[in-house]
A and B are shown apart, each in its own frame.
Chain A
């Protein structure tokens, strides 16, 4: 690149001036200071949100753990009547649900929000208010779902919620609605975090941190956030179908009305299996980050680990049917998934062997984090080996839904996720609190948990072989499972004691203890460059990075950062500023201003939470009021906090670098966020498309006769109008670019009625033919697709009006029109959705010979 700035040949820094340093530090402090007192809840900075996220996740972990202990107490002896059948069924459902949705996934986001910006030498993530919004959604949804147990209405259909047990109101009550709506809400916050983290890794890297220099942790975060984007949406689609059947009787899973219970299993496990790796990879990432520190050398096989992370991410999407081996699918279908399940062992093995190879050529310092990492390896390898066993179909026919699988999954999750996480907790404890933990208590907690875990779960393999099925609240002495269960229960309580020691060690107030020295583990990654005591701004100045382990390989870097010799050492305008760089080589692109503390995100999250909770109880009027509140708060937040026109078009960032202060199109993080969110949205839509074809494959007479198909002419007309609306949106972007503001606004507002007529034509095409979603699965599917389009159009209208108002009030101008560009991008995806729906409803039946 000829026009590239050569970052290695920047002018030297200005000589150090103590007065200037002090003034700069004061201005930075003013910009980044968090609100005092109770107003701290409006904080959005990653160090606060991350810490809260972490503690909340661990609170849910403790809650779910107590549920597990109750179950173990019930199973300790045969014929026990400590707990009722009803309560036990709620306990295991909530245990699985809370561990998966309220602990395992959020904890990844919590840790990433906490340490990712620091590892990237960034001051914050690109959308701090979005992180805060996601966090509050998680808190509200989590409390809603967990709290149900205290009212005796907790979900009791298993964490997998198989239909028809969950879809038929005769078999399942309010608990299922709580599960569905509560979790959909939490999934929204997970996807928000995923968008944030992807953009963070791609666009917020420090100048110079090219892809080949990016720390392994960032690779894992990128991969996992990408997986969330493709794994969670199908479940949201599934939730939508299931809730429509429960609330309005639409026929999706009822075999008597052309539905199929197996569809739910597909949608659930397309989410559910990648989910396991979404949990596992970020924890392995923690080991990959701390192992080089204790080995005192770079990781051996850096690119092999990247291969393994990317490889696992892909393969994990080809495993979902291995949860459905016993559903009677053709053997050949099962076998494809068996093959992929075996193949995934290869990249996982590579990952483990990279760790061992690094240890081979170095001398690893013993420490509490490494103790946990070693325990993780011992447990996880065993879990992986039993995984190879259950991936074989004939073996799984015996093991499936027995305690063998309970043992297997806890070996993989506790070994692959929990122990590495604990290692990470001890490793980053000094980073977060700037105090040291008690190492002796740390070792105690390890041995108690390691011993307790194996005592609890190793015998469970044998319990499974003895034929004990999962999810049973009682058994008989004659079954021969009593001794094994008693041993497991004892182990579970020892494990709990170990966790109690860990929790005490972490939460112990250490107010008067001395602060730790800076970078006490002598690590090579950027987060340890943080000052002690820490400052809210993260890094004093944003450095140029040209190595994989900057603190080892860039001499004097910490001093240069502290003296403010690198980029953005000041906050002259009193704004929170980050540097946005490009994806491949991290060349600085522009200075991004991010939002500070705000109650708007809180209000927005609260209203959205209320919408989901009230919808559970079918209180539609208040739901609508809060829905309007949500839209109001969100628009207010966007209006005052995003795409603000800067006071001047560029600013001096230090070291001879002048950067723009505004970006639009595919340079701006906002554009990428829309792009990534809409990719997730399209994945959810693909879940619906999959459902359509699934019915067509599974049911011989899914497609009705021509007389009962939605009218072709109306569908075509609707498509033409929808595409017309899209064209008007696109045209408004161009006309605004040419400075014709009025025409642009007219096009934006004019697109509304055109789109409305389009969706109206589609609705009429189905209505006129008498399609009734409560009668047949085909009818329900048609209405679902039209409803999907309609909901998106509704959102699109709000955005149109918003952007038109931005143009009117001069916040969106011919020069600065990021809002309009993002809206256009959204509309492109909408047009694609419209074309696909048309193909499904009009062209596919024609192709199959049932059309007009």
Chain B
């Protein structure tokens, strides 16, 4: 008998398998898109803060500007890929006008897909907002 870390007392077998968080049908996709927004946001902020702190007032922001935009595009692409997974999970059609109340794993999976898709859209909008300051300011 193997004694892995999740091994349960060996007198019985529990119903179902181990709790699933990261595997199929799981919830990681819910936080993935907003996390990409958060990462882009923090990177942009740090980049500008360190750039301005280390190169003094009135330093040109042209280089950081394009880094921020490029990061924004990469993030948006990543989120689009997530959105594609979400749509597939949701059922492959871009229909957003229904409630998913079916009591089944499929129903739960579709629901998470739907919420994840909505979060993808929101995250892309928020990333767009973050890029705007990069375009407006040319100096620190």
Contact = CB atoms under 8 A, between A and B. Distances in A.
Interface of A: 1, 3-5, 8, 208, 210-213, 298, 302-304, 306-307, 310-311, 314-315, 317-318, 329-333, 335-340, 342-343, 346-347, 546-548, 582-585, 587-590, 649-650, 657, 659-660, 662-667, 697-698, 733-734, 737-738, 814-816, 821, 824
Contact of A346 (B3, B6, B41, B125): B125
A660 B99 contact: no
Contacts of B41: 318, 336, 340
A821 B4 CA distance: 11
A624 B96 CA distance: 60
A734 B44 CA distance: 44
Contacts of B21: 583-584
B34 interface: yes
A339 B129 contact: yes
Given A211-B27, A548-B101, 5 more contacts: A310-B30, A310-B31, A311-B122, A584-B19, A697-B53
A210 B102 CA distance: 10
Contacts of B45: 333, 336-337
B49 A666 contact: no
Contact of B49 (A343, A649, A697): A697
A314 B101 contact: no
Contact of B19 (A337, A589, A664): A589
A342 B9 CA distance: 53
The winner among A208, A317, A343, A698 for most chain B CB atoms within 10 A is A343
A665 to B, nearest CB: 4
A589 B14 contact: yes
Contact of B112 (A212, A298, A649): A212
B9 A815 contact: yes
Nearest to A548: B101
Main secondary structure of the interface of A (DSSP, over half): helix
Contacts of B119: 307, 310-311
Interface in B1-25: 3, 5-12, 14-21, 25
Nearest to B59: A330
B88 interface: no
A665 B20 contact: no
Contact of A212 (B8, B44, B107, B132): B107
B133 A332 contact: yes
Given A333-B45, A336-B44, A342 B129 contact: yes
A322 B119 CA distance: 24
Contact of A584 (B6, B20, B134): B20
10 contacts: A1-B105, A4-B15, A8-B103, A210-B104, A210-B108, A211-B27, A303-B115, A339-B126, A583-B21, A649-B9
B101 A815 contact: no
B20 A333 contact: no
Interface in B57-109: 57, 61, 99-105, 107-108
A304 B19 CA distance: 26
A827 B107 CA distance: 38
Given A333-B45, A548-B101, A587-B16, A306 B115 contact: yes
Contacts of A588: 15
A307 B122 contact: yes
A698 B54 CA distance: 9
B8 A650 contact: no
B101 A737 contact: no
A176 to B, nearest CB: 29
Contacts of B123: 311
Interface centre among B26, B30, B45, by most chain A C-beta atoms within 10 angstroms, is B45
Contact of A310 (B17, B34, B50, B111): B34
B11 A304 contact: no
Contact of A815 (B10, B104, B105, B115): B10
B118 A662 contact: no
A48 B57 CA distance: 59
Q: Name the residue among B27, B30, B103, B105 with the largest chain A CB count within 10 angstroms.
A: B103
Nearest to B2: A737
A346 B122 contact: yes
Nearest to A738: B3
B101 A213 contact: yes
Contacts of A815: 9-11
Given A8-B103, A346-B122, A650 B12 contact: yes
A3 B15 contact: yes
Contact of A547 (B20, B34, B103): B103
A347 B115 CA distance: 13
Contacts of B50: 697
Contact of A583 (B19, B44, B49, B129): B19
Instruction: Identify which of A302, A336, A546 gathers the most chain B CB atoms within 10 Å of its CB.
Output: A336
Nearest to B23: A584
A737 B133 contact: no
Nearest to A588: B15
